[in-house]
């Protein structure tokens, strides 16, 4: 088992500094300072069929993490293991047919937005991940430093950084672009995770939000899932606010999955007992967290205006 260099990854919607380790065929990432958590790096794509060998190997390491956490993937929602667990909410569409989604899973407002995208000249097509496309991504990323009330992770990244970060999973992804007058105004990376498809990334230009490119991109993803007989389309975690509204309006529903937490050290046992494994945000009241998010959104909004 060997560690790799530090790297920044998105974990639970946050840019997080991690180190990597390999156990068997599975890559494990360590994150955290005071409390170190280990998890499967590509847990969206890999099942943990037998967690015990991973747990035992981690316990024998010199700098072992405090807690190992893993999640059951769709469609297995019933708990399989006796470890301490919590529910984790993801956003997913159960795919039957495109017509079923169109007629029964979205409302008339969303249908009108998809029609509007087509009428205003937005076209969605599968594209190659080439230099032209990457330059189009950069143009979208650099439109604003703030999205959804927080600092945008990809703002200001150069060509080589974007190429490296977004080429990692191309072997299991299709890329679709939304175009207006032959200019890229939005895109999705649709990844295939065996039992479902997941939106690895969906971003569009705020300047063209009135043309509903994101709705058109979701519609395309549903069509692809129908064609490939994929039973679920997943869009990250279930959220509230404007992003949560967008997910609901496009047919996504909350699905609860078991997430397990296995303490590996005395500290890990104490942390779990005191419910500190989610950090400060895990112990703050929901009303206070909502207020802090509003403050953050307003602060980033003022910062963006003054930039």
Same domain, 82 and 201: no
- Asked if residue 254 is part of any domain, the answer here is no
Among residues 97, 40, 74, which one has the least CA distance to residue 192? 74
Same domain, 101 and 67: no
Query: Residues 46-72: pLDDT tens digits?
Result: 999 899 999 999 999 888 999 999 999
Q: Which residues of the chain have pLDDT under 70?
A: 1-16, 280-307
**pLDDT for 1:** 40
Same domain, 135 and 190: yes
**Six-digit token pair at 170?**
């191309």
| Pairing of β 173-180 and β 123-127 | antiparallel
- Asked if residue 55 is part of any domain, the answer here is yes
Same domain, 71 and 114: no
**pLDDT for 4:** 43
Same domain, 24 and 133: no
DSSP string of 249-284, one letter each residue: HTT-EEEEEEEEEEE-SHHHHHHHHTT-TT-HHHHS
Same domain, 103 and 226: yes
DSSP string of 143-193, one letter each residue: T-SEETTEE-TTTT--HHHHHHHHSTTGGGEEEEEEEETTEEEEEEEEEE-
**pLDDT for 10:** 55
**pLDDT for 16:** 64
pTM for this entry:
0.85
Same domain, 103 and 207: yes
Number of domains the chain is built from: 2
**Six-digit token pair at 227?**
């064609």
Is the CB of residue 1 less than 8 Å from the CB of residue 57? yes
| Sign of the dihedral through C-alpha 61, 67, 71, 77 | positive
Same domain, 113 and 209: yes
Cα 241 from chain centroid? 16
- Asked if residue 152 is part of any domain, the answer here is yes
- Asked if residue 235 is part of any domain, the answer here is no
ω before 92 within 30° of 0 (cis)? no
**pLDDT for 67:** 97
| Pairing of β 183-192 and β 26-31 | unpaired
Structural domain that includes position 193: 96-230
Same domain, 117 and 198: yes
Give the contacts of 108 (CB within 8 A, at least 6 positions apart).
Answer: none
Question: DSSP label at 72?
Answer: P
Compute the half-sphere exposure of residue 211: CA atoms within 13 Å on the CB side of its CA. 22
Same domain, 173 and 143: yes
**Six-digit token pair at 127?**
């594209």
Same domain, 157 and 216: yes
Give the contacts of 197 (CB within 8 A, at least 6 positions apart).
Answer: 190, 191, 221, 224, 225, 228, 230, 232, 233, 234
Same domain, 226 and 268: no
């Amino acid at each position: 088992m060997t560690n790799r260099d530090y790297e920044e990854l998105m974990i639970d919607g946050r840019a997080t500094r991690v180190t990597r380790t390999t156990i068997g065929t599975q890559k494990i990432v360590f994150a955290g300072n005071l409390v170190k958590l280990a998890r499967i790096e590509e847990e969206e794509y890999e099942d943990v069929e037998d967690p015990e060998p991973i747990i035992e190997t981690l316990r024998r390491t010199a700098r072992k993490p405090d807690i190992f956490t893993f999640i059951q993937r769709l469609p297995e929602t019933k708990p399989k293991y006796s470890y301490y667990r919590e529910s984790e909410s993801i956003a997913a569409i159960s795919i039957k047919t495109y017509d079923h989604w169109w007629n029964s899973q979205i409302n008339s407002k969303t249908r009108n937005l998809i029609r509007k995208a087509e009428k205003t000249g937005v076209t969605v097509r599968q594209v190659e991940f080439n230099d032209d496309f990457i330059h189009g991504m950069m143009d979208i990323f650099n439109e604003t430093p703030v999205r959804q009330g927080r600092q945008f992770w990809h703002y200001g990244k150069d060509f080589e950084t974007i190429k490296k970060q977004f080429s990692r999973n191309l072997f299991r992804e299709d890329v679709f672009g939304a175009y207006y007058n032959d200019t890229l105004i939005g895109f999705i990376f649709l990844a295939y995770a065996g039992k479902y498809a997941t939106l690895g990334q969906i971003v569009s230009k705020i300047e063209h939000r009135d043309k509903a490119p994101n709705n058109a991109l979701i519609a395309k993803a549903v069509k692809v899932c129908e064609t490939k007989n994929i039973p679920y389309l997943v869009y990250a975690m279930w959220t509230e606010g404007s992003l949560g509204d967008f997910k609901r309006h496009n047919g996504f529903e909350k699905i609860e999955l078991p997430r397990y937490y296995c303490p590996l050290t005395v500290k890990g046992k104490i942390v779990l007992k005191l419910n500190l494994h989610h950090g400060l945000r895990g112990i703050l009241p929901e009303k206070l967290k909502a207020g802090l998010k509003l403050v953050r959104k307003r602060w980033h909004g003022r910062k963006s205006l003054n930039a």
